[in-house]
Amino acid sequence: MNKKHIGWKILAAIVGIPAFAALLGFTTMYLWNWLIPSLFNGPVINFWQALGLFILCKLLFGFSKGGGHDRGKSWRCKKERWKEHMKAKMEHLSPEEREKLKSHFDRCMTGRWGSKPSEETTGAREE
């Protein structure tokens, strides 16, 4: 790597980090002073209090490294993991146990919100 590039990266960090911190502080201060006093009769805060509040929130609630898709927390990822888990459990069952489990699920999934109409509802409709 060229020394010239290292110098630019150091300069960008020296300028960029304080600029980013200032942006976060002023944004937090602006949003707080816009919402909290009018909604909850709370205090008006200055820049340093807003920056401290932001840092406190990050310490309490964590520093995430991306959205739910990156961390595997999305609904789709959870659903896929559940499916893989159930397939692994089903592989260890005997054919009789599988049939028993399937018939149990069929009984559970009938009725008002199930995928199949129950015998009581179909019988009531025919009469």
Assess whether pLDDT exceeds 60 at residue 110. yes
Residue 40 has pLDDT above 80, yes or no: yes
| 42-47 contacts at long range (C-beta below 8 A, 24 or more positions apart) | none
User: Tokens for 3?
Assistant: 């020394």
**Domain assignments of the chain as residue spans, ordered by start:** 3-63, 75-126
Q: How far apart are CA 70 and CA 66, in angstroms?
A: 6
CA neighbor of 102 nearest in space, from 112, 115, 113: 115
Cβ neighbours around 123 below 10 Å, total:
10
Query: pLDDT tier at 98 (50, 70, 90 boundaries)?
Result: confident
Residue 69 confidence (pLDDT): 47
Integer Cα distance of 93 and 76 in angstroms: 26
- Give the whole-angstrom CA distance, residue 26 versus residue 20: 10
Fill in the DSSP letter of residue 112. Answer: S
Strand partners, 110: 116
Question: Does the pLDDT at position 4 exceed 80?
Answer: no
Q: How confident is the model at residue 35 (pLDDT cuts 50, 70, 90)?
A: very high
The one-letter amino acid at 66: G
Residue with more model confidence, 117 or 45: 45
Virtual torsion, Cα 116, 118, 123, 126, nearest 10 deg:
-20
Question: What is the pTM (predicted TM-score) of this model?
Answer: 0.48
- What CA–CA distance (Å, rounded) separates 75 from 43? 39
